[in-house]
Amino acid sequence: MKKEKNNSANYKIDMKLMIKQLFELRKGPTPWGKAFCAGLCAGLPVLLGILMDNFELGLLGGVGGFTYLYVFNETYASRIKKIFLVALTISFLVGLGTIVAPYPWLVILIIGLIGFAGTFIFGVFKVPGPAAIFFILSFAITTSMPINPTQAPLRFIVVLSSGLFAWALSMAGWFKNPHRAEIKAVEDIYLSLGAFCEAIGSKDMNNKRQLALEALRRGEETLSSGVKLKRNKMQFDRLVLLNQYANDLFLELIEVSFYRSGKVPQEIIHRIGELNKFISCKNGKEDKIDIKRLFEEPASEYSRLMDGIYAIEGLINMPLEDIEAEVAKSVRPSRRMRLVKAMDRDSIVSLSIIMCMIP
């Protein structure tokens, strides 16, 4: 009797847990905005097909909606080329699948080539996205449709139209915030620097340092692929300078982690952790950082680190009109110029070589 009661109680607990998990909303890796737009790109062509009394063609148009699944947090300059090429490729493969559908062995060969080429290109160029899977799916869908090679041009145009709609939707945010990806990349850099600073002196320090280094690398790639627009030139320049200052701050944190065995003071951790919240300010007049100096003693062991933080805070507070002058001051010499200066007889490099040659 007791065993039956226990089983009944366990059954009720399992049912409650199952119902709770069924209606639980979990934070997934895909943002809601992207999920909605992907559904719109796939569903709108189907709806148009129903309204035009051609459901089959509407379903085929939904294949072009796969294009939006290749949208990630890249710059709009990269996205405008990438998504257009994806839309064109998916449309071409739909047309090709329609033409070669009568030849099964050729279909198998082409599917293998699509998988190889797509995976290779996405891997070599480190392009984020689902690689070749939706290219293969687009090609395979048309090979299973009624065989009619004469329909290839029509199917190509239908899929390309829905793909271009996905391309236009992916570029819609450019009008509101053309440097959204660059801002996000710089925010991630400062967020990772804050986590690294907090981890100094702990077992997780090496992992956080590697994550900060990866964020710096991604930020450099993102900013280098961005385009400096005339109407947002100074905002873009601020992001470039913030990335440059972040590299300097990272080097200071590396030095602190090597020469200090204990934790960094909480005031500094909090100061760095707050920096990423101000990156997206569109001008220097709102949401300014209150630059309150810490460790006023000149001989403080963290003085260089704090100087780097003050410089970043000053740059964030700086009006956009003054950014151009700051860029001119912060221009670093090219590698060629550094080599030329190193060959000068008065340079420290030349003097070091001469000193080594003296017996």
List C-alpha distances in Å: 262 to 50, 204, 259, 266, 317.
67, 13, 9, 12, 32
* pLDDT for the residue numbered 30: 56
User: Is 310 a domain residue?
Assistant: yes
Closest CA to 167 of 290, 82, 285, 83: 83
* pLDDT for the residue numbered 303: 83
Backbone angles phi, psi at 114, to 5 degrees: -65, -45
* pLDDT for the residue numbered 288: 58
Q: Are 98 and 152 in contact (CB under 8 A)?
A: yes
Amino acid at position 322, single letter: D
Domain shared by 225 and 276, yes or no: yes
pLDDT averaged over the chain? 81
Domain shared by 281 and 165, yes or no: no
* pLDDT for the residue numbered 189: 94
Q: d(Cα 217, Cα 183) in Å, to the nearest integer?
A: 15
Q: Is the pLDDT of residue 114 over 90?
A: yes
At 100, the pLDDT band (50, 70, 90 cuts) reads very high
* pLDDT for the residue numbered 289: 56
Domain shared by 156 and 290, yes or no: no
Domain shared by 184 and 332, yes or no: yes
Long-range contacts: 250-253, Cβ < 8 Å, 24+?
250/193, 250/196, 250/212, 250/213, 250/216, 252/304, 252/305, 252/308, 253/193, 253/196, 253/197, 253/200, 253/212, 253/305
User: Is 336 a domain residue?
Assistant: yes
| Residues 217-262: tens digit of each pLDDT | 999 988 888 776 666 778 888 888 999 999 999 999 998 888 776 7
Mean predicted confidence (pLDDT) in 253-276: 85
At 355, the pLDDT band (50, 70, 90 cuts) reads very low
Mean predicted confidence (pLDDT) in 348-352: 42
User: Is 353 a domain residue?
Assistant: no
Helical segments of 32-132, H only: 32-51, 55-63, 76-100, 104-124
Q: Are 309 and 272 in contact (CB under 8 A)?
A: yes
User: In the chain, what percentage of residues exceed pLDDT 90?
Assistant: 44
Amino acid at position 163, single letter: G
Domain shared by 235 and 306, yes or no: yes
Last residue of a domain, one of 174, 199, 215: 174
Domain range for 157: 32-174
* pLDDT for the residue numbered 334: 44
| Residues 143-189: tens digit of each pLDDT | 888 899 999 999 999 999 999 999 999 999 898 888 889 999 999 99
Number of domains present in the structure of the chain: 2
